[in-house]
Structure 1
Amino acid sequence: MDRAALFDVDGTLADTNHLHVTCWWEALRQAGHHVPMHAVHRAIGLPGEDLLSHLLGEQRDHSEDDRLSAAHDTLYATYFPRLRAFDAAADLLRTLSDAGWKVLLVTSAKERELGALREAIGADDALTATATSDDVEQGKPAPDPVRHALDLAGAPADRAVFVGDSVWDMKAAARAGVSAIGLLCGGIPRADLEHAGAAATYRDPADLLARLGDSPFSRVPAR
């Protein structure tokens, strides 16, 4: 059976979380919502509608959701030419691919945004497929995106590892029965990631790559 290496993108492979924080904060401010940046940061990784529910509550005026999301998307698009991957992100994906893993992205990013992120990472040759929240009924922290990625890879949960930077990533992986690795480069504390289900944590992609031999990846044997 195949092995699947599943990766979140924002804050995990690309240094973009704080750009999203700024863009959501500004979109909300323009609409008259004053939400602290630290609260926005904690919500990054959720699909747009769920992020707004987390920040503004379920009883909010849902009619402004599309306008808020469009404002965020317009603001964030101004950064596309300057998006940067974390050091060794591409090397990590290629190393796993060369070792026989099917490498998939599991993200809430929309298609145009994902294109800019993939260009910044520069490792499309290592990718098997991409699973987005648009492909499923519920995004992270529901297990749906992770299970969809497993289906695309043709791999069972016990032969997969999920790498992410948010508590939503860790919860989605745990609910899908997949071992999770937390990266600290997204800005979420180690304790929070571990509490949400991370089996191991590393500073960033470079740290994980350097310690790959004794990471959760090493516990899934090739067959």
Structure 2
Amino acid sequence: MADTAIFDVDGTLVDTNYQHALAWYRAFRRYDITPAVWRIHRAIGMGGDNLVTAIAGEDVEKAHGDELRAAWTEEFEPMLDEIQPFEGARALIDEVASRGFRLVLASSGQKAHVEHFLDLLGGREVADAWTTSDDVDATKPQPDLVGVALQKVDGASGVMIGDSVWDAVAAGKLDVPTIAVRTGGFSEAELREAGAFRVYESLVELHENLDGGPLARSTR
């Protein structure tokens, strides 16, 4: 039984994945690189330190990695005002917190972006802690974010709630089970293959099925 619920933010609680993909596409185009947008989407959930190599290869990372990440920021920030929480996001985290879990909103995003999303969710009012890129050396699919989330609240055992295969892979490296929602655009089969043991269509469906699962009640 778990004592800590670790909620991924981007793509799980707030609807950002397609804005991320478009911002990365525009960033690559600045350097005359034209990856298919669907390929970028498949990599969303990785951190920017891994995504450039995954999409364009090591040579592009060596030549333009930092510039591409800076360009991504410039392309993404004008879309911030378009982004909204998914239906049921606040109700779900309120309910999980009320069941006695330590609640961590886990992101390796830039601090300003994470704070914007916290404000959208009212997350500061309910979360015990949250993370940003300042807290980790390596992003998903490396497990650093999951480990830091547990450390921030002295958690002994966690459950990851995420939307991408990279959430499940990262959590699995620390033997933390993952509940996945399909809000990131990944199929149920992909999420299960990556290690998610339960998959729901939406946050609302997850909320309706908390009883009988690892988020039924906390061990605290």
TM-score when normalising by structure 2: 0.94
**1:2 shift after superposition:** 7.7
CA distance in 2 between counterparts of 1:108 and 1:190 reads: 24
Match of 2:179 among 178, 181, 186: 181
Question: Paired residue for 1:205?
Answer: 203
Asked if the contact 2:53/2:61 (under 8 Å) is kept, the reply is: no
Q: Give 1:108 deviation, angstroms.
A: 2.0
Matches within 5 A, 1:1-223: 3-156=3-156, 159-218=157-216, 221-223=218-220
Per-residue deviation, 1:203: 1.1
- 4+ long deviations beyond 4 Å: none
- TM-superposed CA distance for 1:67, in Å, is 1.8
For the Cα contact (< 8 Å) 1:182–1:193, is it kept in 2? yes
Note closer, same or farther for the CA distance 1:112–1:133 as it changes in structure 2 (3 Å cut).
closer
Aligned alpha-carbon RMSD (Å): 1.7
| Cα displacement string for residues 175-222 of structure 1 (whole angstroms, at most 9, x for unaligned residues) | 11111011101101111110010010011211111111133323x653
Partners of 2:2 and 2:188 in 1: how far apart? Answer: 30
* Identity within the alignment, %: 33
Quote the Cα distance in structure 2 between the aligned partners of 1:137 and 1:61. 17
CA distance in 2, matches of 1:40, 1:61: 15
Aligned counterparts of 1:125 and 1:2: Cα–Cα separation in 2: 22
Contact 2:108 2:135 in 1 (8 A): no
- SS of equivalent to 2:96: helix
Residues 80-134 of structure 1 deviation map (CA, whole Å, 9 limit, x = unaligned): 2221000110111111112111110121211011112112222321111112343
Moved more, 105-114 or 15-24: 105-114
CA distance in 2, matches of 1:136, 1:69: 17
Aligned-partner residue type, residue 134 of structure 2: D
Paired letter, 1:14 = V
> What SS does the corresponding residue of 1:108 show, helix, strand or coil?
coil
Alignment partners' CA distance in 2, 1:32 and 1:142: 29
- Displacement of 1:169 in angstroms is 0.3
Give the Cα separation in 2 of the matches to 1:191 and 1:52: 26
Q: Is contact 1:39-1:55 (8 Å) kept?
A: yes
Aligned residues: 220
SS in 2 for 1:214: coil
Q: Distance in 2 between matches of 1:200 and 1:131?
A: 24
Distance 1:136 1:126, change over 3 A: same
Look up the equivalent residue of 1:154 and give its one-letter code: D
Task: Report the AA paired with residue 100 of structure 1.
Answer: G
Contact 2:139 2:145 in 1 (8 A): yes
